[in-house]
Amino acid sequence: MDFGRNFLDGRRILGKNKTFRGFLFGWGIGFLVGLADGLVFGFSQYGIMFSILTPLGALCGDLGGAFIKRRLNIAPGGLLPIVDQVDFVVGAILFSLPLGIVTLGLAATIMIITPPIHLLTNFLAFKSRLKSNPW
């Protein structure tokens, strides 16, 4: 996604692992999950917009994490604890704020429960040989 370009520090802006194909696929899957959630639990006033903005925010948060990792000279796929577990959550929350449906309590709860779930699912994917590293 950075077109192979480097930032002012001479390092890649995002790295070779961040692609438009992956971004669009990730957004599409997130959007479909949002729609499925709306169908199962009922669409709120902002259901469609939430389904659009939340995965977009999550992916932009992930790009922000990649940008930080490149600045710290951490290779693509390398570990940056905490940032790797919450960058996408922060992005999703920030992008959904204009809808006025995420409360401080909900945001705090999401920030608390997501890291252990993220670590567990990544570890299980690693053990299942779906990922090359446990993070």
Q: Annotate 107-129 with b (16+ C-beta within 10 A) or e (fewer).
A: beeeeeebeeebeeebeeeeeee
The pLDDT score that the predictor gives to residue 57 is 98
**pLDDT, tens digit, 9 for 90 and up, residues 83-121:** 999 999 999 999 999 999 899 999 999 999 999 999 999
Amino acid at 54: T
How large is the average pLDDT for residues 71-85? 93
Tell me how far apart the alpha carbons of residues 84 and 33 are, in angstroms, rounded to a whole number: 22
Q: Is the pLDDT of residue 31 over 90?
A: yes
- Do residues 23 and 1 touch, judged by C-beta distance below 8 A? yes
Q: Residues, the chain, total?
A: 135
